[in-house]
Structures are given as structure tokens and as C-alpha cells.
Amino acid sequence: MAIKLSTISDGTIEVIARIDNALPQDLTSEEYDNYLESLDESLLRIGNEDKPTRFVMRKILPWALAQKAANQRADIEKGEVKIKLSFMAVEVKYALVDIKNPEDLPEEDKIKFERSSEGGASETLMEKLMAAGIVDNLFSARQHAITKTKDRKKN
């Protein structure tokens, strides 16, 4: 069986953060984890009147950004490889391309997408997302989306 790069889909995914007020307060960690794996919004039990914020991320990073993100995964200190967890935030920074706010949200409450000069989200936006604890959700959802493509069963 050949390797089929045609099965690797590019494009974007949309992710709702765990702390979104549109999610029911009794949503369990297991339910949210299942959502992150599938990005099936029906698992979130969002009410008809509630509209969540959606973070839009690319599945495949452009070459230059993928290389920069990969270089953030580890360092060598005194001859030993040290894994750096900050690479997750770097990948999210480069993958994030937009934020879709609910239309009825007041303008002052909307999260404004700010682009960095190198592509992806600005450092100012990333600082806010990291402080809010959203980055881990975004990283996890993107990894599941990528893994789903890679792990496709051979026919």
C-alpha cells in the first residue's frame, strides 16, 4: 500500500474553548474531551439561544512557520535534550487565523483577532489566550484533527 498524501486534508478547524459561557455549566471533562477529539459540537449541548466564540485554526502550517514551531520543541543543555512545553503555544500562535465571535455579542466584548507580522496570532492576543487558559484546548483540538487524518485506516 502506498503513502497517499491526498488523504491529508488542509483547510481549517473551528474550536470552542472550554471556558465559553455558551457551554452548559454541568458539561463534564469527558464530554469536552470527546468534543476535542471529534469537534462534533452536538457533544457540547449548546442551547439554541447561546452562541459560542469559535477559534479558527489551520490544520497544516506553512513551511516556514512549521519549521519555527518545530524548533521550539526542544533545546540541548549540557549535552542533554530538554523538551520545552512552550512549543504548544507557538504552534497555536502560528495555526490561529481568525476568531468568529457571536454576532449579537457587544463589540467591546468581542475577541479581536490580531495577526502577527510573521503569520498567525499576535503576541498580545496569545498573552490573553494563555492567561485565559484557552491555548491547551486549541492545541489539543488541532492535534486530534491532524492525527485523525494521519491515522486513517488503509483500505
Rounding to the nearest 10 degrees, give the CA dihedral for residues 59, 7, 62, 33. Answer: 20
Answer yes or no: are the C-beta atoms of 109 and 63 closer than 8 Å.
no
**What pLDDT, on a 0 to 100 scale, did the predictor assign at position 84?**
66
Choose between 143 and 75: higher pLDDT. Answer: 143
Inter-axis angle of helices 29-38 and 135-150, nearest 10: 50
| Domain boundary assignment for the chain | 9-149
Dump pLDDT digits (tens) for 57-76: 999 888 778 777 776 766 77
The pLDDT score that the predictor gives to residue 139 is: 94
Helix (H, G, I), strand (E, B) or coil at 66: helix
In tens, the pLDDT along 1-19 reads 677 776 666 789 999 999 9
pTM, whole model, 2 decimals? 0.84
What does the mean pLDDT of the chain come to? 87
